[in-house]
Amino acid sequence: MCILTTQQGPEGTIRLSRSEPTAADLVTPGPAAPRPFIRQRPAPSQPAESRYNWRLPTSRGLPAVSVWDIGIVILYVVGIIGLGWAVSRRVTTFRDYFVAGGRMTAPLLICTLVSTYYGLDVLLGSSEVAYQSGIVAWFAYARPYYIVILIAAFTIARRLRRYDFLSVPDIGAHFYGVGTQRVLAVASFVYSLPILGFMGLGIVMDVTLGIPFVWGVLFGALVAVVYTILGGLLADALTDTVQFTLMCVTLGIATVIAVNSAGGVDVLRDRLAPSFFEPTGSYPIWVLVVFAGAALSALVEPAFYQRIFAAVNYRAIVVALLVGIVLWAAFDWAVAIVGMVARAEGIETEARYALLTMTMQSLPVGAKGVFVASVLATSMSTVDSYLLIAGGNLSYDLVRPAIRRPMGDRELLRLTRWMIAVAAVVTIVLALFFQTVVSAWIFMSTSLIAAALVPIVGGLYFGRFATPTAGLAASAVGLAVALGYYVLVHTFGAFDAQWETQIWTVRAGRHTLELWQEYALLFALPASTGAFILGALVGRKRG
């Protein structure tokens, strides 16, 4: 194990330092005192002692990878870059680059949708929840997304196909004007920065190959940027097809090995606490509400919208989403089972790395390389998709409207490629800044839902109330409340090592209220809705 610590350096710089853990680092603190209205859960086996520490298992604690394993990983990296170069020779227009010319068929849509939504944040995050709390990882954390995506397939997708949009901010511009377009562009850009993917690449390379975290982030970013800049969405979709296959096959093998090593699924009931088999686990009710609310991001998800605009027809979208829901459900269930098996087998590691640690210990030579390649593929499939969207937000949604002259197609294509590089630099900085994957994810998803959900649904389904004032008020107020709440919790709250999140404890007399950073959506979404209604009452429709 190593400890990667962030420290404040001169002039506000951030330094990362590695050190070997001391005996004090490995001591598990005693149970925290019970808090009112919160059911307690077992503390993680190695909780972080402060919010400024990264605790990562390293390859030194795992069986060494062979030359064959490293060769498989190198072959994968060279292959996806070569595919991006080959596709780049067919890209001549911005529409070809950003939405694959609107010619994506159902098979390509299935592969790119499934692999894009399943990055390392899902692979490691779902297994972390399962390792700590059991099947709640599937019932409360993952299942709400399937329901929302099913709704989106038969409502949002059909309505969007009536218009010639290329991005989420395009919707704001069409219904409300340039002000709402800019707010949505900022929210979409923040959400689309692949911070979690870059962090995941650094973690995986450190855990499996022994490459230092910072260099893992930089190397992974370089590979993703090169083939995203070269080929655009078509290269992304084709590489997603390869990555989709690797991801499904290796996860299936890992699940079988994990379950067999434990003696079968039935053995888990004898080794794990009963709460591991409760659909709600041990989480507070409001956290479960936030889990369900976060699924609403699927209704305004930039990658989902981009695939809708890129599909050859509406039928291809429906087929891709219905097949995707089945695959997502199976994928999530497998990840949850592996996380629970790791806990039952007594894998001693930080919860989010349980799946990686156990799988690397179980697989034979050669299979380790395929597994590492598939895990990298899982992250790459998310990174390239969102880098493309973030670059498009800058070039197409922000820079293009600000220039007071028409931009030619080739000029816009060249600008987008430069903006992808800019987005990658911003992402690297944030990936090295955030202390935890969860804190980054909460910030990103809340920003998008708070700013985009109400104005987009309002424009698509309540057009008579879609005034420019309503759209701008809903997007701006929602985003401002979300960011304001986030700042307050991080200013007046404290990091809770047991729940691994930021909590602001507010006391009023004999009453105590705990405000988690995850609760931002519970305040921002009603504020955005109220602002939209008020704006619809006082504003006038565009002529």
Give the number of C-alpha atoms closer than 13 A to the C-alpha of residue 62, restricted to the C-beta side: 31
CA pair distance 491, 188, nearest whole angstrom: 25
Determine, yes or no, domain membership for 36. Answer: no
Rg of the chain on CA atoms, in Å:
23
Determine, yes or no, domain membership for 248. Answer: yes
Sign of the four-CA dihedral 383, 385, 389, 391: positive
CA pair distance 88, 504, nearest whole angstrom: 50
Determine, yes or no, domain membership for 32. Answer: no
Measured CA angle at 236 (ends 232, 238), to 5 deg: 120
Interval 359-396: pLDDT, tens: 777 777 777 777 777 777 667 767 777 888 888 888 88
Interval 495-537: pLDDT, tens: 887 777 788 999 888 888 889 888 999 999 999 999 999 999 9
Determine, yes or no, domain membership for 326. Answer: yes
What is the band of 34 on the pLDDT scale with cuts at 50, 70, 90?
very low
8 Å CB contact between 309 and 299 = no
**Edge-to-edge order in the sheet of strand 14-19:** 14-19, 2-8, 53-56
Structural domains counted in the chain: 1
CA pair distance 192, 393, nearest whole angstrom: 9
Cβ burial of 418 (10 Å; 0-12, 13-18, 19+) is middle
For every residue of 368-408, DSSP letters joined together read: HHHHHHHHHHHHHHHHHHHHHHHHHIIIIIIIHHHSSS---
CA pair distance 185, 396, nearest whole angstrom: 9
Name, in order, each residue with C-beta under 8 angstroms of 222's C-beta and a sequence gap of 6 or more.
none
Determine, yes or no, domain membership for 94. Answer: yes
**Strand 53-56 to 2-8 pairing:** antiparallel
Helix and strand numbers, DSSP H then E, in the chain = 22, 6
Q: Two tokens at 409? A: 């197609």
Determine, yes or no, domain membership for 213. Answer: yes
> Greater confidence, 60 or 519?
519
End-to-end CA gap in the chain = 64
Measured CA angle at 107 (ends 101, 108), to 5 deg: 40
pLDDT at 472 over 90: yes
CA distances from 283 to 230, 446, 485, 516 (A): 44, 20, 22, 12
- Other Cβ atoms closer than 10 A to 315: 10
Host domain of residue 88: 2-27+41-538
For every residue of 219-241, DSSP letters joined together read: HHHHHHHHHHHHHHHHHHHHHHH
Which SS3 state, helix, strand or coil, does residue 268 take?
A: helix
Q: Two tokens at 360? A: 């690397």
Q: Two tokens at 34? A: 């019970």
Q: Residue 416: which CATH number?
A: 1.20.1730.10
Q: How many residues does the chain have?
A: 543
Reference 168, options 59, 31, 307, 68; nearest CA is 307
Lowest mean pLDDT, pick from 61-70, 93-102, 109-118, 398-407: 93-102
Report the range out of 70-79, 168-177, 245-254 with the highest average pLDDT. Answer: 168-177
Query: For every residue of 128-148, which 3-state class applies, written as one string?
Result: HHHHHHCCHHHHHHHHHHHHH
Determine, yes or no, domain membership for 170. Answer: yes
CA pair distance 520, 530, nearest whole angstrom: 16
pLDDT at 186 over 80: yes
- pTM for the whole structure: 0.71
What is the band of 92 on the pLDDT scale with cuts at 50, 70, 90?
low
For residue 55, which amino acid is it? R
CA pair distance 32, 165, nearest whole angstrom: 52
Query: For every residue of 279-291, which 3-state class applies, written as one string?
Result: CCCCCCHHHHHHH
CA pair distance 430, 501, nearest whole angstrom: 18
Cα-Cα-Cα-Cα dihedral of 132, 135, 137, 138, to 10°? 170
Interval 401-448: pLDDT, tens: 777 777 777 788 788 888 988 999 999 988 887 766 667 777 888 889
Q: What is the pLDDT of residue 238?
A: 61
Report the range out of 86-95, 278-287, 523-532 with the highest average pLDDT. Answer: 523-532
Determine, yes or no, domain membership for 114. Answer: yes
What is the band of 198 on the pLDDT scale with cuts at 50, 70, 90?
confident
